[in-house]
Amino acid sequence: MKILFDNKNRCLVCLSGEIDHHNASAIRMKIDVAIDSHCPGEVYIDFSGVSFMDSSGIGLVMGRYRILREYGASLFVANCKGSIRKVMQLSGMNRLAKFVDGDFENEFLNSRKGETVNEQVANVK
């Protein structure tokens, strides 16, 4: 898991591996700390590196949506493909978050050139 911030008051959460009930709470805590400490206007949760997700992933997104709504911030679900996208849509996540595709990690890194921006990298096992 990698959490990046850019100079446009946005946060990017790059998830990887499996998201299940064993690791979802640790992921939630890391994201919540990032949101609380930086108050971004937009949060992108990038699923491009996720190989498996159970219902804990839905809860992860739903909970971050609720927190961001309190801040008046927007949630984007990025690069959600195949069965993971289907599960997200069946659960109604597309009514809460905007689904987007793109190379957001490079976009965030390029927008930070010449700027000092906090970067948090967390390994969640």
pLDDT at 16 over 80: yes
Whole-model pTM: value is 0.88
Structural domains for the chain: 2-121 (3.30.750.24)
Closest CA relative to residue 75, chosen from 47, 98, 48:
98
CA distances, 60 to each of 41, 67, 107 (Å): 19, 11, 24
* Banded pLDDT at 76 (limits 50, 70, 90): very high
